[in-house]
């Protein structure tokens, strides 16, 4: 035993020395390779796999390098022992199986096993590294399957990891550098060796060899070398999906596994099963999808995919989880179309009906199951594919929750329930822009609800700038930038360009992104200079000019823009609900304008706005309002109308006259009254004036036979020129020209007076009607009435229960005549009837109803009385009633 | 003249590519097509250029010049600048000199634009944009009048000037705007006088 161990140790040392001397270790391929061990004299009997020449001589170096179709690495036994080789059927670059004494593998000379010595032994080995490079795994599978001889064999893998690649520096490893891991041979014929590689990199290289023993035999593989990147086994691809593309192909797509350090190639195998065909196909692709044509409706597809390093050697990943996909019986491609108004769209269809594909010439197309699309719109693409083209389409009108038109592919009048969806969107989005008055900012707005029917769409304004002006035909085919826009409360998006290029052309459009595709609104080109909204004119002033009475409005133009401007002026009387009058001032240099106004004495409000004279851009906002200050324009046009009441002392000694007048209106005072002056003229040519200030009442003694008074209104310009006179004459106060006066109340607000005149020798100028409530002291009212009037309606508020005195004064040129008076109470009954016309109807109805009710009661009473006494049985005709005292029952009742 | 050239090119194209031809597209034919396309592009460009009336370009040039002047006036700290005070050490800012041509104006404005673009404030950026538009207008005016236009050199390198501007930002801004405003006034007068280039 000791001898055996010593021999093994010495041979291992030889082996290590061989490694140092020779850098041609077996390059582990990313696929399966084989370790075969046999006695040298049994090479001819060894069970080589098919394709491997039995004549291969382990000692014939040249022959192996040229003739063998598989790699055969060998180790020459140092003594009579097993001879082990590594080889692979798939290796395209066969390595030498040298009969070099420096490359030795041995079997313990004391070991023997009948089966192994007779037939040799093989292990199928595959080594790979997971993508995280943490573990190198080698799987060993023995050729002695289900053989009792392998039950107890053990394997060890010795390895050393080097940072440098083999090409960079030849490996020089000492035995002490190797580490040993025990392989897990728990299963009968398989072992798994896991080599931890905590510091491994893709460029790292590992040297290793296997030691296998079943307790009797001891085998050691030739030295193996591997660059880790060459045996990395990727994870299988993820998210394998199948779908029908818009052009009617089956798209098998997947995702590459994460953390892939290099580009992968993929192998896709898929099978199709339908009533017509049954096939399985495998293809190698570089993209992460595969397009399969000639998709058949009603077919079942199953696909799997695996990946491998594209450039250089690598191991195939495991196959991905299978994915199944069954194509519908009707295939529309594209299944959905999003397009804009006015465009054309085409749908293709393959229709399988009752396990038979409908010939395309027999296909008909319907819209919304309501409208048959004319056959002139159909095209036969091939035997099974039909196409329909819809031209110059209008916008889809949403029908309830359906925002699309349903397009059906049918056979005669029989349609499959599946349909294609057509979304036609009106993308004519109006983008309007406005440049501010400082010419530094352009704000563009566009309505947000334009494509509201297309749920889930994203809108974005895109633009590009031309150096100067706009082209006649703006286009979106240009490098563009997005612009941030913000939704406003009024349902518009707003975007701001600041600073701006005043004379550059900004071409803008709305890009509509949707899962179905993207659309673009027609482009709009705007030059900021042409959409200026100026600032309103400043320093606006309004005044009504003295003497001319013209309303003059002045302003100052804004500093910018420098273009010629036009102006609009509007004005109105301030308290009259702004009934504006508008005037235009085209003069670019205009700074004021005057207007003829009717009411000089009102406060006017005036505003001004401006716009470019060439019509480009917008009107500015109206300026801040300017108000006129009321000033006297002229002297009052006339004095106030006045009336006088004569108060006579009961003793008859003294008479006073009280004059009162209504304050002069603005239309006569032009525009204010500073004071009133009463001028007196007496029969004795005495004249004086009395300043009453703003009082509208004055009393003076009437001492002479005739006394004439005039009331003059005075404003800042001067006294009124035209004034009324009134003469009080003792003589004339006895002259009566009114024969009769009658008063009739129309209602509580109107009383009509009528009178009859008798001719006199004096010149009658007018009448004055005076009325007063006799229950009030200071309730005198009066009105001047023309001399030719015979009837006059007085509008006032009359209280029906109070007494009024109406007086009619004839006023002659010579003086005030004798009045005719009448006291009256406006008739209450008449007024009430007139006030309540329904009274005529209601009273008869109430009376009639009362009579009817009374009659009904009387009749009812009689009927009840009769009813009671008829129902009481006659004791003479009824046996059971005989002897009953009915008088008593009546009493009870 | 243009129509004659165009007609000749069209005839040549028709000769080389008769209707319904199925022959191969030779190198010679390709070259003629390229020439024809270039000629059509030139015609389109000339048409577009002529589509903008020279009068409008002149008016826009004057209006934009006035606009820049007003902008400078409206900058608050420009109100109180004394006209008598001179600032030294800023010789790289162009002074007032009579403009000889549209190209001369463009050269001067290019320098101002270069300086303003280094004075980072919103007002300056806006004026710089205006100057770019104004230069574009001068170029368009020049092309409409078939004037020779030199490539604007600007300041070859701000180099040390950047240090000067950083240390004397306010002075640089005030002097630049003041001189620019004067230059623009000069331009306005010259634009009325220059009938040629």
Nearest to A502 among B48, B64, B140 (CB): B64
Distance from CA of B133 to the nearest CA of A (A): 6
Distance from CA of A606 to the nearest CA of B (A): 28
Distance from CA of B12 to the nearest CA of A (A): 29
Question: What are the φ and ψ backbone dihedral angles of A129, each rounded to 5 degrees?
Answer: -120, 135
Distance CA A630, CA A573 (A): 12
- Which positions in chain B touch A472 (Cβ < 8 Å)? 48, 51
A500·B126 Cβ contact <8 A: yes
Q: How far is CA B69 from CA A562, A607, B178, in A?
A: 10, 29, 10
Residue from B67, B68, B127 whose CB has the most chain A CBs within 10 Å, to mutate = B67
Q: Chain A: which residues have CB within 8 Å of chain B?
A: 439-440, 467-469, 471-472, 498-504, 529, 559-563
Which residues fall within 8 angstroms of residue A847, CB to CB, at 6 or more apart?
A: none
Distance from CA of A521 to the nearest CA of B (A): 25
Report yes or no: A170 and A198 within 8 Å, Cβ to Cβ. no
- Which positions in chain A touch B73 (Cβ < 8 Å)? 559
Distance CA A610, CA A557 (A): 8
Report yes or no: A411 and A362 within 8 Å, Cβ to Cβ. yes
Q: How many CB atoms lie within 10 A of CB A819?
A: 18
Q: What is the pLDDT of residue A14?
A: 45
Stated pTM of the model = 0.62
Distance from CA of B41 to the nearest CA of A (A): 15
Identical fold for domains A2-231 and A238-326, yes or no, is: yes
Nearest to B67 among A468, A504, A562 (CB): A562
Of 2.10.77.10, 2.60.40.10, 3.40.50.10190, 3.40.50.150, the CATH number of A432-530 is 2.60.40.10
- Which positions in chain A touch B48 (Cβ < 8 Å)? 471-472
Closest CA to A425 of A502, A360, A513: A513
Distance CA A365, CA A375 (A): 8
Q: In the 8-state DSSP scheme, what is residue A112?
A: -
Architecture of domain A330-425: Sandwich (2.60)
B126·A472 Cβ contact <8 A: no
- Which positions in chain B touch A563 (Cβ < 8 Å)? 63
Q: How many CB atoms lie within 10 A of CB A107?
A: 27
Nearest to B137 among A468, A499, A560 (CB): A468
Residue A129: helix, strand or coil by DSSP?
Answer: strand
Q: What is the torsional sign of CA A732, A738, A744, A750?
A: negative
Average pLDDT along chain B = 75
Edge-to-edge strand list for the sheet holding A538-544? A538-544, A550-556, A592-596
Residue A833: helix, strand or coil by DSSP?
Answer: helix
Report yes or no: A4 and A108 within 8 Å, Cβ to Cβ. yes
Three-state SS sequence of A425-492: ECCCCCCEEEECCCCCCEEEEEEHHHHCCCCCCEEEEEEEEECCECCCCCCCCCCCEEECCEECCCCE
Report yes or no: A683 and A705 within 8 Å, Cβ to Cβ. yes
Nearest C-alpha in B relative to A560: B67
Which residues fall within 8 angstroms of residue A202, CB to CB, at 6 or more apart?
A: A133, A228, A229, A232, A261
B129·A502 Cβ contact <8 A: yes
Residue from A502, A560, A612 whose CB has the most chain B CBs within 10 Å, to mutate = A502
Of 3.40.50.920, 2.40.50.140, 2.60.40.10, 3.40.50.10310, the CATH number of A2-231 is 2.60.40.10
Q: Give the torsion through C-alpha atoms of A558, A560, A564, A566, to 10 deg.
A: -40
Closest CA to A770 of A757, A753, A758, A787: A753
Domain spans, chain A? 2-231, 238-326, 330-425, 432-530, 538-626, 642-729, 745-827
Nearest C-alpha in B relative to A440: B126
Closest CA to A423 of A341, A330, A510: A341
Which residues fall within 8 angstroms of residue A882, CB to CB, at 6 or more apart?
A: A875
Nearest C-alpha in A relative to B73: A559
- Which positions in chain B touch A529 (Cβ < 8 Å)? 60
Distance from CA of A440 to the nearest CA of B (A): 7
Low pLDDT (below 70) residues in chain A:
1-24, 40-81, 90-119, 144-152, 164-176, 187-189, 200, 276, 576, 652, 826-844, 865-893
Q: What is the pLDDT of residue B106?
A: 93
Which residues fall within 8 angstroms of residue A197, CB to CB, at 6 or more apart?
A: A129, A133, A134, A135, A136, A161, A204, A206, A228
Residue B6: helix, strand or coil by DSSP?
Answer: helix
Report yes or no: A86 and A73 within 8 Å, Cβ to Cβ. yes
Distance from CA of A345 to the nearest CA of B (A): 30
Helix (H) or strand (E) holding A213: strand A205-213
Question: What are the φ and ψ backbone dihedral angles of A167, each rounded to 5 degrees?
Answer: -70, -35
Architecture of domain A238-326: Sandwich (2.60)
Q: Chain B: which residues have CB within 8 Å of chain A?
A: 48, 51-52, 60, 63-64, 66-67, 70-71, 73-74, 122, 125-126, 129-130, 132-133, 136-137, 140
Q: What is the ipTM of this complex?
A: 0.76
- Which positions in chain A touch B133 (Cβ < 8 Å)? 467-468, 501-504
Domain A538-626 class in CATH: mainly beta
- pLDDT digit string (tens) for B39-56? 454 444 444 444 678 899
Distance from CA of B9 to the nearest CA of A (A): 26
B51·A500 Cβ contact <8 A: no
B70·A501 Cβ contact <8 A: no
Residue A507: helix, strand or coil by DSSP?
Answer: strand
Q: How many beta-carbon pairs below 8 A join chains A and B?
A: 52
- Which positions in chain B touch A504 (Cβ < 8 Å)? 133, 136
Distance CA A30, CA A233 (A): 8
The half-sphere exposure of A148 on its side-chain side, counting CA atoms within 13 A, is 1
Q: What is the pLDDT of residue A721?
A: 87
Helix (H) or strand (E) holding A239: strand A238-244
Q: What is the CATH number of domain A745-827?
A: 2.60.40.10
* C-alpha distance across the termini of chain A, in Å: 143
Which residues fall within 8 angstroms of residue B83, CB to CB, at 6 or more apart?
A: none
Distance CA A141, CA A120 (A): 15
Distance from CA of B184 to the nearest CA of A (A): 14
Distance CA A771, CA A820 (A): 11
Strand positions, DSSP E, A748-877: 750-757, 764-773, 781-786, 791-795, 804-812, 815-816, 820-824
Q: CATH 2.60.40.10: does it fit domain A642-729?
A: yes
Residue A752: helix, strand or coil by DSSP?
Answer: strand
Closest CA to A796 of A770, A817, A821: A770
B126·A499 Cβ contact <8 A: yes
Low pLDDT (below 70) residues in chain B:
1-51, 79, 154-160
């Amino acid at each position: 035993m000791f001898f055996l161990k010593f021999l093994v140790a010495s041979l291992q040392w030889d082996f290590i020395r061989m490694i140092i001397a020779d850098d041609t270790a077996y390059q582990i391929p990313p696929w399966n390779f084989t370790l075969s061990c046999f006695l040298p004299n049994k090479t001819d009997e060894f069970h080589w796999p098919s394709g491997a020449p039995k004549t291969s001589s382990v000692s014939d170096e040249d022959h192996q390098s040229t003739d063998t179709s598989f790699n055969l690495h060998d180790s020459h036994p140092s003594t009579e022992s097993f001879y082990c080789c590594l080889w692979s059927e798939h290796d395209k670059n066969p390595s030498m199986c040298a009969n070099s004494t420096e490359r030795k593998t041995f079997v313990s000379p004391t070991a023997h096993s009948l089966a192994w010595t007779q037939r040799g032994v093989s292990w199928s080995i595959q080594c790979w590294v997971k993508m995280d490079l943490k573990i190198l795994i080698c799987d060993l599978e023995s050729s002695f399957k289900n053989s009792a001889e392998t039950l107890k064999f053990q394997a060890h893998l010795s390895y050393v990891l080097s940072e440098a690649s083999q090409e960079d520096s030849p490996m020089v490893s000492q035995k002490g550098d190797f580490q040993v891991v025990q392989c897990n041979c728990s299963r009968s014929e398989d072992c798994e060796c896991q080599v931890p590689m905590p510091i491994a990199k893709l460029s790292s290289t590992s040297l290793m060899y296997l030691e296998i023993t079943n307790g009797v035999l001891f085998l050691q593989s030739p030295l193996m070398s591997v660059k880790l990147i060459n045996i990395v086994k990727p994870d299988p691809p993820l998210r394998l999906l199948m779908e029908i593309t818009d052009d009617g192909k089956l798209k098998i797509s997947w995702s590459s596994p994460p953390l892939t350090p290099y580009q992968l190639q993929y192998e896709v195998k898929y099978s199709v099963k339908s009533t017509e065909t049954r096939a399985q196909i495998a293809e190698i692709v570089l993209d992460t999808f595969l397009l399969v044509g000639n998709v058949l409706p009603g077919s079942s597809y199953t696909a799997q995919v695996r990946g491998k390093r594209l450039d250089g050697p690598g191991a195939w990943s495991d196959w991905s989880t299978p994915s199944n996909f069954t194509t519908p019986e009707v295939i529309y491609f594209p299944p959905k179309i999003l397009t804009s108004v006015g465009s054309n769209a085409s749908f293709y269809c393959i229709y399988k009906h009752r396990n038979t594909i409908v010939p395309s010439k027999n296909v008909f197309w319907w819209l919304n199951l309501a409208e048959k699309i004319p056959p002139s719109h159909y095209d036969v693409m091939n035997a099974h594919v039909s196409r329909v083209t819809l031209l110059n389409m209008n916008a889809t009108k949403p029908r309830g929750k359906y925002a699309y038109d349903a397009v059906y592919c049918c056979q005669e009048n029989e349609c499959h329930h599946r349909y294609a969806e057509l979304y036609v969107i009106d993308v004519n989005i109006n983008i309007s822009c406005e440049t501010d008055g400082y010419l530094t900012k352009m704000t563009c707005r566009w309505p947000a609800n334009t494509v509201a029917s297309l749920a889930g769409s994203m809108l974005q304004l895109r633009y590009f700038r031309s150096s100067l002006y706009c082209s006649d035909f703006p286009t979106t085919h240009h490098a563009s930038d997005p612009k941030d826009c913000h939704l406003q409360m009024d349902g518009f998006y707003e975007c701001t360009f600041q600073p701006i290029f005043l004379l550059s052309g900004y071409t803008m459009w709305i890009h509509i992104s949707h899962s179905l595709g993207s659309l673009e609104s027609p482009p709009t080109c705007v030059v900021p200079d042409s959409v200026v909204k100026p600032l309103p004119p400043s320093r606006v002033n309004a005044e009504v000019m003295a003497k001319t009475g013209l309303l003059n409005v002045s302003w100052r133009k804004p500093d910018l823009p420098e273009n010629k401007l036009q102006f609009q002026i509007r004005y109105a009387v301030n308290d009259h609900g702004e009934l504006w009058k508008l005037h235009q001032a085209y003069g670019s240099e205009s700074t004021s304008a005057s207007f003829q106004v009717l009411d000089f004495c009102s406060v006017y409000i005036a505003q001004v706005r401006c716009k470019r004279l060439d019509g480009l851009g917008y009107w500015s906002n109206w300026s801040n309002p300017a108000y006129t200050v009321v000033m006297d324009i002229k002297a009052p046009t006339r004095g106030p109308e006045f009336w006088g009441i004569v108060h006579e002392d009961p003793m008859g000694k003294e008479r006073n006259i009280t004059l009162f007048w209504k304050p002069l209106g603005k239309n006569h005072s032009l525009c204010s009254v500073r004071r009133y002056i009463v001028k007196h003229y007496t029969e004795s040519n005495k004249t004086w004036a009395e300043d009453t200030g703003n009082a509208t009442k004055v009393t003076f003694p009437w001492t002479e036979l005739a006394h004439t008074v005039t009331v003059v209104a005075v404003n800042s310009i001067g006294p009124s020129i035209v004034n009324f006179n009134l003469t009080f004459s003792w003589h004339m106060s006895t002259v009566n020209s009114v024969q009769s006066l009658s008063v009739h109340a129309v209602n509580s607000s109107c009383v009509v007076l009528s009178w009859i005149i008798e001719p006199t020798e004096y010149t009658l100028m007018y009448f004055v009607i005076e009325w007063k409530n006799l229950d009030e002291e200071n309730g005198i009212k009066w009105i001047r009435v023309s001399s030719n009037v015979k009837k006059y309606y007085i509008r006032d508020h009359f209280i029906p229960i109070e007494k009024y005195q109406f007086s009619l004064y004839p006023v002659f040129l010579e003086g005030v005549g004798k009045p005719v008076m009448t006291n009256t109470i406006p008739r209450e009954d008449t007024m009430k009837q007139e006030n309540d016309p329904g009274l005529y109807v209601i009273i008869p109805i109430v009376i009639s109803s009362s009579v009817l009710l009374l009659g009904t009661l009387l009749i009812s009473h009689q009927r009840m009385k009769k009813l009671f006494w008829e129902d009481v049985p006659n004791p003479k005709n009824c046996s059971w009633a005989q002897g009953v005292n009915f008088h008593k029952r009546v009493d009870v009742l | 003249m243009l129509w004659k050239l165009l007609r000749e090119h069209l005839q040549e194209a028709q000769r080389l590519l008769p209707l319904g031809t199925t022959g191969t597209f030779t190198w010679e034919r390709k070259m003629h097509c390229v020439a024809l396309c270039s000629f059509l592009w030139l015609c389109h460009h000339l048409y577009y250029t002529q589509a903008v009336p020279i009068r409008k370009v002149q008016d826009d040039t004057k209006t934009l010049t006035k606009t820049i002047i007003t902008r400078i006036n409206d900058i608050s700290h420009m109100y109180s600048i004394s006209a008598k005070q001179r600032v030294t050490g800023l010789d790289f800012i162009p002074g007032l000199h009579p403009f000889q041509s549209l190209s001369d104006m463009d050269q001067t404005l290019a320098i101002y634009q270069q300086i303003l673009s280094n004075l980072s404030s919103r007002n300056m950026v806006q004026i710089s944009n205006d100057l770019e538009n104004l230069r574009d207008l001068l170029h368009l005016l020049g092309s409409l009048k078939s004037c020779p236009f030199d490539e604007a050199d600007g300041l070859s390198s701000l180099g040390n000037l950047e240090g000067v501007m950083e240390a004397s930002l306010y002075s640089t801004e005030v002097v630049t705007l003041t001189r620019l405003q004067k230059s623009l006034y000069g331009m306005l007068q010259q634009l009325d006088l220059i009938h040629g280039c």
